[in-house]
Amino acid sequence: MSDSVITLRDVKKNYQGIPILDVPSLEIPAGIHWLQGQNGAGKTTCMKVIAGLIPFSGEILLQQQVSSKKDPVTLRRLINYAEAEPLFPSFLTGRDLLSLYINTKGGDKDWITDIVDILGIQGYIDNPVSSYSSGMLKKLSLLLAFTGNPALILLDEPLITIDTAAVDTLYNLIREKNNEGVSFIITSHQPFDEQKITLTGKLIVADKTITRN
């Protein structure tokens, strides 16, 4: 695997003409990165740009090979994203969403089923997501971010609303997948337990740009 997981080249993102991100050049090495910045600095915008979920100008390269310009579909398949405050169509059940993700993204179904059990989602997986509490919804959304065979997983505020047992499970999942070569970019306003995951470095979003620290 290339040492670089994500490269940004002249990436610019505006909302209604207002510049939010302007990153001339950034290379992010493989590993586990903590994306930091003040409220409104542009962390979520940065994740949505990298995940290919919102339009932007410039180019993103995954592992110096897969280009957002030339191969956006492959790029999206290899990058998973869990939103800070997930929203899903209310009439779908957790199982509907899980099946949809597994069918679209592939990956190891048995491994995912084991995680459903470990996270304790099996008790409500057949209920519509409209009946889920915010923590239940968050666990489901984190689980969905681990489906398929991603090269990079983006987790936006994964520690909020989940209980301490789920936080430990999440740390274990991150460690396990990182050992298999998956990289992570994670935002959190709370510090990580660095006894449980080893961070590669920090990415700071400020003044519309992103710097490595």
Ligand X SMILES: Nc1ncnc2c1ncn2[C@@H]1O[C@H](COP(=O)(O)OP(=O)(O)OP(=O)(O)O)[C@@H](O)[C@H]1O
Compute how many residues bind ligand X; rule: CB under 6 A: 11
Instruction: Give me the least distance between CB of 97 and ligand X, in Å please.
Output: 23
- Cβ distance to ligand X smaller for residue 35 or 173: 35
3-state secondary structure of 180: coil
Determine, following the binding rule CB under 6 A, whether residue 43 of this chain makes contact with ligand X: yes
Instruction: Give me the least distance between CB of 159 and ligand X, in Å please.
Output: 13
Instruction: Give me the least distance between CB of 151 and ligand X, in Å please.
Output: 23
Determine, following the binding rule CB under 6 A, whether residue 36 of this chain makes contact with ligand X: no
The interface with ligand X within residues 13-32 (CB under 6 A) comprises 15-16, 20
Instruction: Give me the least distance between CB of 110 and ligand X, in Å please.
Output: 35
Instruction: Give me the least distance between CB of 47 and ligand X, in Å please.
Output: 8
Compute CA distances 56 → 13, 90, 151, whole Å.
5, 29, 21
Rounded Cα distance between 129 and 111, Å, is 22
In the list 1, 14, 24, 40, the residue contacting ligand X (rule: CB under 6 A) is: 40
Going by C-alpha positions, the residue among 127, 123, 154, 126 that lies closest to residue 141 is: 154
Rounded Cα distance between 38 and 189, Å, is 9
Instruction: Give me the least distance between CB of 156 and ligand X, in Å please.
Output: 7
- Cβ distance to ligand X smaller for residue 18 or 73: 18
Determine, following the binding rule CB under 6 A, whether residue 37 of this chain makes contact with ligand X: yes
Looking up tokens 């994306």, which residue turns up?
A: 35
- Cβ distance to ligand X smaller for residue 172 or 188: 188
| Residue spans of beta strands (DSSP E) within the chain | 4-15, 18-29, 32-36, 57-62, 66-67, 79-82, 152-156, 183-187, 201-206, 209-212
Long-range Cβ pairs for the range 116-122 (8 Å, 24+)? 116/143, 118/169, 119/143, 119/166, 119/169, 120/165, 120/166, 121/94
In the list 7, 36, 45, 141, the residue contacting ligand X (rule: CB under 6 A) is: 45
Q: Give residues in contact with ligand X (CB under 6 A).
A: 15-16, 20, 37, 39-45
